[in-house]
Amino acid sequence: MRPGLGIDRVRGVIHSRGVGSSREDGEGHAGAAARGGASRGQGQGQRQVHLLAVPPRQVGGRRRLDAARPPGPRGHWLMGNVAEYERDRIGFLRRHHREFGDVFSFDERTVFTVDPRLAHQVLAATNREYVTEAAPFAGASAPRDAGEFAGPWMRARRALRGALGDDAAGEWDAAFLAALDAALGRTAGRPVDVLPVMLGLAAETVAGLCLGADAAEVPELLAVNHAALLPFEEASYQLPAWVPSRRNRRFFRAHGRMTEALTRIVAARRAGAARSGGRDLLGVLLDARPALSEREVTTTLWSLLIGGHGVPAAALTSLVRELALRPGLTAALASEAAQAAAAGEAPRNPGDPGAAESPESDGTPESAGTPGTPGAGEGCPRARLPLAEAVVREVLRLSPPAWMLTRVACVPAELGGWRLRPGDEVLLTAYLIHRDPRWWPRPDEFDPSRWDTAHPPPGAHLPFGSGPRYCPGSSVAMRQLTLAASRIAQRFHLDAPDAAATVPAFSGRLAPAGLRAAFRPRRPA
């Protein structure tokens, strides 16, 4: 059973075997998604057994799965809670949070928490007590092995830190703005589905970031992979990878094409046959010391490409919705953009000084100034566009694209007084934490001004996660979203008559379902 979707589903697929592996491994990448995501030391298909939830016992009028498990809904005698969850995921979570409190179990091996303190604790203990859904480069067959496989990934992360920090992230501002103008310009003022436009924009942006001049074929491959991954994200139950279902075959085909392309690009770059004009992430990875293997480089690229595609596109789509609903706010953003431009301040050029310390320094983004938004130093356009930045933060608070984070215990662990066994899964509901009135006054209200004073406790603001597996693209993402908010407001009239009626889709990534909008160019002032 996979109630925990979000980015981890995708990453489970990506990371489970490393990009260079194949079906011959026995299960390949789709194995993680197909089994519910995991190198967990359980035989193939065993994970699905959790679907057949053991009927809980009634203990003293309180439902308990067993003495060692948190309380939780009883569900159907055979199917557990899957059907109810699938009918209305967030409604299910809200109901059971109200009934059972901040920690409740979904089935024998799956626990939800809506407690920021516990979320923070779990995220901070990742790579020690917990693993992300499956470890990068994993060929691991048991959760206890996953830390070992996270090693190369963490080395790659460290190598990338400088290149993805706030100073360096500015190098891509101009390319991002050009791609944004082009993507919205192509819509020619006609109403369009916003998410596909943003997926195209994000694909082009992240492909350029990773591969520079060698990126040409990658945006299309990302689109193909995105489409192949969607069914895995949307369903709670998957067939094992070895079943030659249409969905599995489609995924293997898409994945194989991307693998082949990345392997070719990496090999050519290593051989010096292809040279990117600027400094891209592939260049950084190839220069890493100690050197990363070809497969580690390729797998890291794959993770960055997938992580930097669907999630930012979902965030951009939510941003458009909020802007479309608030003409007054867009006018204020346009005026801020005009002032910043007049002062020659936006966007900033490469080499800007003054970025804040990386949140990875101690694994706690909350310690890096404003909670959950690291690196907002004076050199960042966010500092020059404070309203745009606050709008973005508010969008990410109300609609975190990665609305549920997943961890798997790899050793016996403790969560809020409950015992977890290796293989148990903890689901951190960022969406509910972000809307909890205990940490957020008027939690459902869109109010960028709250960021003038907001000081949520650790773990209460998780748009980019926390701890050692904090999003490595967060600085780039915050910059680009801030620039996008400002640019869209300045250059386009937004017309989205149905925006208020769109509902959030709690799929792999949270985004307003079916949002349509027309981006009509404004006359230059």
For ligand HEM, the binding residues (CB under 6 A) are: 7-8, 11, 132, 157, 206, 209, 303-304, 307-308, 311-312, 315, 401-402, 405, 463-465, 469, 471-473, 476-477, 481
Check: CB of residue 353 under 8 Å from CB of residue 375.
no
Q: Please say which residue, 53 or 168, places its beta carbon nearer to ligand HEM.
A: 168
Q: Please say which residue, 65 or 433, places its beta carbon nearer to ligand HEM.
A: 433
Q: Please say which residue, 71 or 508, places its beta carbon nearer to ligand HEM.
A: 508
Q: Taking the complex as a whole, how short is the minimal distance between the CB of residue 497 and ligand HEM, in angstroms? A: 26
Residue ranges of the alpha helices (H) in 23-139?
A: 30-34, 82-87, 89-100, 116-124
Q: Please say which residue, 254 or 392, places its beta carbon nearer to ligand HEM.
A: 392
Check: CB of residue 175 under 8 Å from CB of residue 483.
no
Q: Taking the complex as a whole, how short is the minimal distance between the CB of residue 408 and ligand HEM, in angstroms? A: 11
Q: Please say which residue, 18 or 472, places its beta carbon nearer to ligand HEM.
A: 472
Q: 471 among the known binding-site residues?
A: yes
Closest CA to 453 of 441, 465, 463: 441
Give the strand pairing for 516-521 and 510-512: unpaired
Which amino acid, residue 256?
Answer: G
Q: Taking the complex as a whole, how short is the minimal distance between the CB of residue 60 and ligand HEM, in angstroms? A: 36
CA atoms within 13 A on the CB side of 134: 32
Q: State the CB neighbour count (10 A cutoff) for residue 446.
A: 16
CA atoms within 13 A on the CB side of 10: 25
**Nearest position to ligand HEM, beta carbon:** 473
Q: Taking the complex as a whole, how short is the minimal distance between the CB of residue 196 and ligand HEM, in angstroms? A: 17
Q: Please say which residue, 154 or 411, places its beta carbon nearer to ligand HEM.
A: 154
Q: Taking the complex as a whole, how short is the minimal distance between the CB of residue 400 and ligand HEM, in angstroms? A: 6
C-alpha span between 446 and 469 (Å, rounded): 28
Q: State the CB neighbour count (10 A cutoff) for residue 494.
A: 20
C-alpha span between 512 and 525 (Å, rounded): 32
C-alpha span between 407 and 147 (Å, rounded): 13
Q: Please say which residue, 93 or 146, places its beta carbon nearer to ligand HEM.
A: 146
User: CB within 8 A of 47, min separation 6: which ones?
Assistant: 1, 35, 36, 38, 40
The two three-digit tokens of residue 471, written as one number: 């999003």
C-alpha span between 64 and 74 (Å, rounded): 8
Q: Taking the complex as a whole, how short is the minimal distance between the CB of residue 372 and ligand HEM, in angstroms? A: 10
Q: Taking the complex as a whole, how short is the minimal distance between the CB of residue 124 and ligand HEM, in angstroms? A: 11
Residue ranges at the known binding site for heme: 471
